[in-house]
Amino acid sequence: MGGRVERIKLGSQGLEVSAQGLGCMGMSAFYGPPKPDEDMISLIHHAIHTGVTLLDTSDIYGPFTNEILLGKALKGGVREKVELATKFGNSFADGKREIRGDPGYVRAACEASLKRLNIDCIDLYYQHRVDTRVPIEVTIGELKKLVEEGKVKYIGLSEASASTIRRAHAIHPITAVQLEWSLWSRDVEEEIIPTCRELGIGIVAYSPLGRGFFSSGSKVLENLTDDDFRKLRYVFYGDEGIELIGDESPGPRLRSSKGLKLPSMGSTIMGCPSRIGIACRFCWFLFSDGCFVMVVASGRLILGWGLRWWQFLPRFQPENLEHNKTIFERVNEMAARKGCTPSQLALAWVHHQGKDVCPIPGTTKIENFNQNIGALSVKLTPEEMVELESFVAEDVVKGDRYTKDVATWKDSETPPLSSWKAT
């Protein structure tokens, strides 16, 4: 079964990868509780044997545990068979989440990822989100040094605007840009995709199946656990990262916390016992929506961002899914005519965007992986491409892909290099 997947050139610097990659995030984070290491390692090895060799992870997945998982999977001579991509840029130091691209952080993040992955060099190292306080030239300048030192082979950006990509590429060649690109997420086509092609930059499409929507439509929420971020509405920011709480409102369980005062922001500090996080540890914490507070966790004081309402993915709100189910129904009908599944049809659409595009669908099951590989055999005519795209016109899809407080390429402009004062 090995070697079934075509190879493509990603970017213009010599990187060659499988035409389809494997997104590993859901194995350890965000899509419910972490899956057993042995099962995920078997899946990764199966993917490699099939010919899928581009493996995508990040230090934020877990955080950190997904990289450790990949490190285990790549032992015993497996490392030489893959192209390994990871990312940096999300810091949880001192009890708060920050997007960071300053040189010291870039270097420290790289060293930490190398250690967790148990490797000497990262094949493709992305800035996961752009730090809008640091000129992109400064961040890329440090990445360039890491390339020169042999710790990184190729540099990538994720969720970066066309102008940011252009500025970065002028400092050191950018090999790949990772973006959400699927049938129902096409806003990157106006400026970013043309810019990448002008500069010879490869395109890596994440969430090419709409985070599972094109597999099961409006039923996608039915079998999700409460801590799956497609479903949850409450999160807690602590010193160890984002703790996923679920959909149930904590309101009925609140009690006033006396003796504590909050800066005048129209909120009241409350205390609430709760079972939180993927680790489900029991603790007391204090919170006010979005305000910086002291948190008591595991018997010690830490700083955290408290509890806040946050629907990460507006398209997955029940009312929006109900509206968008017509899209899935139309894709499903066309897939039946083509003799494939709706997910294969949606993934085939991404593949047909060009040989410079590598989608990285994620999964935690071998049977779903095999189905995704089947998309490589689905052929679409120009007329069928037009028909598919007509199902998901901009005015048809209801709900943004992220909430406004999530950093995306639309918020990735950085200050001019002349403004930078090294510390």
> Annotated catalytic sites, by residue?
61
The per-residue DSSP string of 131-174 comes to: -TTS-HHHHHHHHHHHHHTTSEEEEEEES--HHHHHHHHHHS-E
- Token pair listed for 172: 């050191």
Distance CA 61, CA 281 (A): 19
Amino acid type, 402: Y
Backbone angles phi, psi at 163, to 5 degrees: -70, -35
- Token pair listed for 327: 């899209």
Q: Which residue has the tokens 């082979």?
A: 153
Amino acid type, 27: M
**Size of the chain in residues:** 423
Choose among 412, 340, 392: nearest CA to 166: 412
Distance CA 170, CA 403 (A): 31
**CA distance to 27, 200, 240, 316, 411, per residue, from 405 (Å):** 25, 31, 20, 17, 10
Amino acid type, 85: A
Residue 222's DSSP bridge partners are none
Q: Strand 83-88 and strand 90-91: pairing?
A: unpaired
Q: Which residue has the tokens 């009890």?
A: 95
Torsion of CA 2, 353, 16, 359, to 10 degrees: -60
Choose among 21, 25, 22: nearest CA to 230: 25
Residue 131 φ/ψ region, left for φ over 0, alpha for ψ in the -120 to 50 degree band, beta for the rest = beta
Distance CA 86, CA 64 (A): 11
Is residue 340 a contact partner of residue 348, using CB atoms and an 8 Å limit?
Answer: yes
- Token pair listed for 27: 């194995």
Q: How many CB atoms lie within 10 A of CB 266?
A: 8
